[in-house]
Chain A
Amino acid sequence: MVGPMVAGLLVFYVYPLIASVYFSFTSFDLFTAPAFTGFTNYIFLFTKDPLVGSAALNTLFFVLILTPIKILTALGVAGLLVRVKRASGFWRTVFYLPALVPPVASVVAFVFLFNPGSGPVNVVLRFFGIDGPLWFNDPNLAKPSLVILGIWVMGDIMIILLAGMLDVPRELYEATAIDGASGWQQVWYITLPTMRPVIGFAAVTGVIAALQYFTEAAVASSVASGRASIGEGPGATMGYPLGSLLTYTEWLYIRGFGNYQLGYASALAVVLFLVAGTVLMFAMRRVRAFTPEETS
């Protein structure tokens, strides 16, 4: 009964991982057999590749900035919703639904909302006498604009945190209230410690998602650049504006599937695997959801 799954793991995970390591030591263009080149790809990656550094830094931005902001916003909203009695179902739906919208649709919508010419955001800013910035067309603001989008779609994390918050035993609040604890003390000493496993889960999945950040950046670049991309594919506009949105996985896509440098793309994949693997090792030790518990 578990046989197909095991076969799937072997075909789609174990074999590709081994093959990636092998390809990473070769020059391979899909049409001719891979040719062994030793450490050439890795030497190029770490010393000569002109863009891998900035691509890694862009991805790091999403890991270090987007993920914490998303989780903190989700915590704040969940904390607010846990106290709301009136129309709580309505409010929860309002904050959750954006997370279900297809990412391509939400990116297209946000690039429109923030477009410098007719975008409602700058129109509203102009109403208040503020000259709105270029947002997705400004190399300094393109990533922060995607963070704003990230906040809008934080609903999936929020729901997990809200469920965890509702799970905190009431008695703990009642007991400490009698002892005279303030609301903030209760949050700090009861809510957050009790929710540690849930927050840990959200952090790990958030970091992993940020490491592979791709769709939002690729679509934002393509739509904001306004260039016809039908023949050349989104690879042509990736990074727009000025490489500020070029993420590590986009660079891997361009090298591997745009230029068919599959050997080099495999070297990039192996490095990504080592980084993600470190996060995974931490996750499997520390996050309870990822450990096998006793079967009942």
Chain B
Amino acid sequence: MSEDVTGMASAGANIAGGVLTNAPEVPRPLVKRRKARSVDGALIWIAENALLLALGVLFIVPVVFVIFTSFMSPAQALTSDLIPHSLDWQNYSHIFNDVPVLTWFGNSALYAVLATAFMLISSVPAGYVLAKIRFRGANAIFYAIVIAMLLPPQVTAVPVYVLWTQLHLTGTLWPLILPNLLGDAFSVFLLRQFFLTIPSDFANAARIDGCSEWAVLWRVMIPMARPGIAAAGIFMFFQSWNDYYGPLLYASENQAAWPVSYGLATFRGIHGTDWASTMALTVIVMLPVVVVFYFAQKAFVEGIALSGVKG
């Protein structure tokens, strides 16, 4: 994995892209050390690397134990053994045979894919307009978006829930998917921040050539904003994939509509003390995230840095 991470360094020209990859220029606080201090420097180097190694092990170890336990027999998982006797896939086959895990995955995929697609349709134009076009009320809309994205969802939950009840859509994931057609506040914020970093010269040239705003967005800005759009899309995808509160509110009473997060949360309740199968399911839920991260790490990091650092 590390090989691929470093391989992306050349692409990570800007600061955000360089964070997870090998940042080419790392500030070295102690630049010109006098010779007398070099022993100190070596000690500091050893201390830092020892600390890093220890912390790194502490961060990796939880996942290792989870994976180990997922290969234990249910009986062994109740002992104080840390390492499985043998590589036993029975917990995994148990999950795929006896738990509707594929339905859960299907529901999660439907939720995440449609929410992301709908968000992009509505939020890319909004982010572009807020970044690049001056109009009356632009600041007011921007402030409203910041408030909307920071407001705890519980504040608006009751009236929104009543609304979806009246539309007879509770018991499904649609109340979580459909609102994205009307823009997602955090995504618009993120996209606006990205559009701000793109110079307006090309857009202005296209306007002089008679392009409409839609044509400017579609032909000029979107191709240049691809990294930002990818970041917003991936965030939305994972926010939907990881969501627990939304499905709890709207889909908990209809098992056929459960996504993986919700299914995993109820699993141990049903399966009592079967830690081995619980860990196998936990691994299955974690796995897609790691896979997607592996292929899309640059977009992730760019988006995170963008939300916090720019501006």
Contacts and interface: CB of A to CB of B under 8 A. Distances in A.
Nearest to B138: A292
A83 B29 contact: yes
Interface stretch (A15-23, A45-53, A62-70): A15-23
**Interface range on chain A (Cβ under 8 Å from partner):** 35 or more
A215 interface: yes
B165 interface: yes
Nearest to B9: A89
B31 A173 contact: yes
A55 interface: no
Secondary structure at chain A's binding surface: helix, strand, loop or mixed?
Answer: helix
A295 B241 contact: no
B223 interface: no
Interface of A: 1-2, 4-9, 11-13, 15-17, 19-20, 23, 30, 77, 80-85, 87-98, 100-105, 108-110, 112-113, 115, 117-118, 120, 123-124, 126, 152, 156, 159-160, 162-168, 170, 173-174, 177-178, 183, 186-187, 191, 198, 201-202, 204-205, 208, 211-212, 214-215, 218-219, 222-223, 226-230, 233-234, 249, 252-253, 256-257, 262, 265-266, 269-270, 272-273, 276, 280, 283-284, 288-293, 295-296
Given A276-B151, A296-B199, A100 B282 contact: no
10 contacts: A20-B155, A165-B27, A170-B25, A204-B150, A212-B153, A222-B265, A228-B270, A230-B266, A262-B162, A272-B152
Contacts of B79: 118
B142 A1 contact: no
A183 B154 CA distance: 45
Contact of B2 (A93, A126, A266, A292): A93
Contacts of B244: 102-104, 215, 218-219
Nearest to B184: A8
Interface in B1-18: 1-2, 5-6, 8-9, 15-16, 18
A169 to B, nearest CB: 8
Interface residues of B, number: 129
Given A108-B268, A292-B139, A93 B155 contact: no
A288 B264 CA distance: 39
B1 A93 contact: yes
B188 A5 contact: yes
A276 B149 CA distance: 12
A83 B156 contact: no
Interface of B: 1-2, 5-6, 8-9, 15-16, 18-23, 25-32, 44, 48-49, 51-52, 55-56, 59-60, 62-63, 65-66, 69, 77-80, 82, 122-123, 125-126, 128-134, 138-139, 141-148, 150-163, 165, 179, 181-183, 185, 188, 193, 196, 199-200, 213-214, 217, 238, 241-242, 244-245, 248-249, 252, 260-262, 264-270, 272-273, 275, 278-279, 282, 285-286, 289-290, 293, 297, 300-301, 304-305, 307-311
B140 to A, nearest CB: 10
Interface centre among A110, A112, A223 (most CB of B within 10 A): A112
Contact of A126 (B80, B146, B242, B248): B80
Nearest to A19: B159
Given A2-B130, A168-B27, A123 B308 contact: no
Contacts of A253: 154, 248-249
User: Nearest 7 A-B pairs (CB), nearest first?
Assistant: A8-B182, A89-B5, A5-B183, A16-B156, A19-B159, A90-B2, A212-B152
Given A88-B23, A160-B304, A186 B29 contact: yes
Contacts of B193: 289
Nearest to A168: B27
A265 B308 contact: no
A4 B242 contact: no
Contacts of B179: 8, 11-12
Given A15-B159, A20-B158, A163-B19, A77 B200 contact: no
Nearest to B187: A5
